[in-house]
Amino acid sequence: MADEIDTQAGTAVAEAPAEQVEKLDQSVEISDVGPCKKHIKVIIQRQAIDDRFDDKYTELVRSDTSQVNGFRPGKAPRKIIERRFKSSVEEQVRTEVLMASLEQLATENQISPLSAPDLDPSKLEIPDEGPFTYEFDVEVRPEFDLPAYKGLTLKRPVKTFTPADIKKERHRLLEPAGILVPKEGDDVRVDLDDYIVADVEIKDGDTVLNNLKEIRIKVEKQLALSDGLAEKFGKTLAGAKVGEERDVEIKLSESITSEAMRGKAINARFKINDIKVIRLPEMTPALLQEFGVRNEDQFEEVLEAVLNRRLEYIQRQSYRQQILSTIGDASKWDLPQDLLVRQSKKALQKRVMEMRSGGMTDEQIVGRRKVLEQDVIQSTALALREHFVLQKIAEVEKIEISEADIDEEIELIAARSDESPRKVRARLEKEDYIEALATELLERRALDLVLQNAVYEDVELKTEDEEGEVATMSEEAMPGSSDEAPQG
């Protein structure tokens, strides 16, 4: 906990001596003041404070650097030294005592802070007489007992990839190199993976919220706007013809500025103006080389590898949920709203790192991230619960992550994205994702340990149960609704 206070103590901490200090005579009172929050009161007895004052003044009296007008260096009377240097000595003693107290507090008490304590050292004063008392609130990890996590029976989603699955993945990988052309045929209708050009009128009841003209959108299972999500987008538009209108329900995000509209279902009427498809490129040697292969047989192997890696990601997400559900107390944790709001960025970063490790492309990640952002509080609560459970397992099993582990993971990500490790690291550092990567690695190893000792029951993963791709729009359903996040 002493480390948590360094950034607030400023220069005073830097001036504190490095030598080991004696144990303080202090008492500690800890009480619950809310979900994941403790109030801590520390009382330090006077003797430890007086001893430090005496040491400081004795050192100053003997020092050649403590100059006082009218006296030779090292010859000034102690009382004058005390008056002359009282302010600076008090600051040094306060800093030393506070740091020693916090270190002792962390050693002797089971406290796992989630953030820096609500404590400003500059506002603390040591009294002229009597004990030194300070108190603060601090957010802590929830307290719970881990049940037996070895030997769990887990359901393992499995799937045999069909030619249709491989064809769809082939289309997805080659799509960036293709060209958009009108969809042709005797009875042209909208299908998944098509592109539509549409006019969109978005209404809340009879009130028009937005009118969008000639918007081009890819038809995926879901559509994420900046401030809302259409969960049945693909299903609703499937089969539509040019000129036809379809009503799509959009659920507004829980994080929009209008409190009255958060989570509300509104209607978007899509008028189909055109239907287009991607014409895939020819498999030339140059294109094959872009995927690191020499022929189409090797390209088919790449497709199968991508599908298998994505299935592994689905399996691991399923395992996380199942493990969490076995810990009954976990589902009852009451996480404070302000904590969820502050942790939302880290939670999203960690999810992004999981998806990168799962081999997803930037385009896939953008869509899935937008879905998580629609209800950032709920997604953060789930991520934190998983984090606390897996972190506690890591502590019990003494699992740690080194810098070499991070370097190795960066090399793997670089190999999958065909980039240099240096470029990947630079991007992660710029996006402030290195800490998220370390957290994801720690949780992955804790999860691996549980999985190595689990018993599995295979269950078929049905196509309709898969997460599916997410189309994205930069436009808002309600203009100006996502200018800022809610304040809890």
Identical fold between 2-139 and 179-279: no
Q: The domain 153-159+283-453: what is its CATH number?
A: 1.10.3120
CA 118 centroid distance within chain? 22
Which neighbouring-strand residues pair with 253? Answer: none
| 426 CB-side CA count, 13 A | 5
Q: What angle do CA 369, 370, 371 make, to 5 degrees?
A: 90
Biggest distance spanned by C-alpha atoms of the chain: 107
CATH architecture, domain 2-139: 2-Layer Sandwich (3.30)
pTM over 0.85: no
Let me know: does 271 contact 215? Beta carbons within 8 Å. Answer: no
Let me know: does 414 contact 423? Beta carbons within 8 Å. Answer: yes
* Residue 138 Cα distances to 117, 363, 403, 415, 462, angstroms: 5, 39, 29, 42, 45
Which neighbouring-strand residues pair with 16? Answer: none
Q: Which residues of 174-196 are buried (b: 16+ CB within 10 A; e: fewer)?
A: bbeeeeeeebeeeebbbebbbbb
Predicted local confidence at residue 482, as pLDDT: 66
Predicted local confidence at residue 75, as pLDDT: 61
* Residue 330 Cα distances to 141, 383, 384, 393, angstroms: 12, 12, 10, 14
Q: Which residues of 462-487 are buried (b: 16+ CB within 10 A; e: fewer)?
A: eeeeeeebbbbbeebbbeebbeeebe
Question: In the 3-class helix/strand/coil scheme, how is 40-59 assigned residue by residue?
Answer: EEEEECHHHHHHHHHHHHHH
Where do the structural domains in the chain lie, given as residue ranges? 2-139, 153-159+283-453, 179-279
Closest C-alpha among 369, 339, 358 to residue 431: 369
DSSP summary character for residue 398 = T
Distance CA(268)–CA(215), nearest Å, equals 13
CATH architecture, domain 179-279: Roll (3.10)
Predicted local confidence at residue 10, as pLDDT: 31
DSSP summary character for residue 253 = P
Alpha-helical segments (H) within 180-253: 233-237
Alpha-helical segments (H) within 31-117: 46-62, 78-108
Closest C-alpha among 430, 439, 355 to residue 405: 439
* Residues ≥6 apart with Cβ < 8 Å to 95: 9, 12, 13, 15, 16, 121
Could you read off the pLDDT tens digit of each residue along the chain, which spans 488 residues? 544 433 333 323 334 444 455 788 899 999 988 888 889 999 999 988 888 888 887 877 777 566 665 566 656 677 777 777 788 888 888 888 888 888 888 888 877 787 778 788 888 888 888 999 999 998 888 888 888 889 999 999 999 999 988 998 999 899 999 999 999 999 999 999 999 999 999 999 999 999 999 999 999 999 999 889 999 999 999 999 999 999 999 999 888 888 889 889 999 999 999 999 999 999 999 999 988 899 999 999 999 998 998 899 899 889 988 887 876 555 567 777 778 877 787 777 877 888 877 777 777 788 788 877 777 777 788 888 888 888 899 999 999 999 999 999 999 888 877 789 999 999 889 888 898 899 889 999 999 999 999 999 999 987 766 767 889 888 899 988 765 444 33
